[in-house]
Amino acid sequence: MSDEATADGAAPTANAGYDEWIDALADGTGYALVCPEGHGSLPPRRVCPECGSSSLAEEPLPDRGEIETFTVVHVPSPRFADDAPYTTAVARFGPVRLTGIVRGVDGVDDGDEGAGGDAVAVGTTVEVGVGERETDGGRIVTFRPVGT
């Protein structure tokens, strides 16, 4: 059950595998797929994209991750028209990196020096969850900075 409506308002498309994954993330039971070699990946997968192993197990994501890079987006796509400016980040959670939107920090400013950079930096510890886009209510992966 995806809530990703199409641009013309047609019925949303289901994405089996992904939908269950983001449901679990929203319930606080997010997971990664891990092969015997320890490579992490995200569903849907039949084989490990790194080594081809078909032996993939669901492993719980660690409670906390670490931001490895981020950007403050000022020119959005239509789905994020009312969200901009917003901060997108890539964070490491154990065997995988996730891409999400940083929430729970003071509103980003429009200044030159890395808007949101006071609250978000490479190395910031975050929790992951699921939130809604302001523009259309679509579900998004969210990161919230936590005290270390």
Parallel/antiparallel/unpaired status of strands 40-41 and 57-60: unpaired
Q: Which does 60 bind (CB under 5 to 8 A by kind): another protein, Zn ion, none?
A: none
Name which of residues 47 to 106 contact another protein (CB under 8 A): 49, 68-81, 83, 86, 88, 90, 96-101
Strands (E), the chain: 31-34, 40-41, 57-60, 65-73, 86-93, 96-102, 125-132, 139-145
What is the pattern of x (binds Zn ion, CB under 5 A) and - over residues 64-83?
A: --------------------
How far apart CA 24 and CA 36 sit, in angstroms, is 23
Smaller CB separation from another protein, 45 or 55: 45
- Is 34 near another protein (CB under 8 A)? no
- Is 35 near another protein (CB under 8 A)? no
Cβ burial of 59 (10 Å; 0-12, 13-18, 19+) is: middle
Q: Note the residues at the interface with another protein (CB under 8 A).
A: 4, 15, 18, 41-42, 49, 68-81, 83, 86, 88, 90, 96-101, 110, 112, 114-115, 122, 138-141
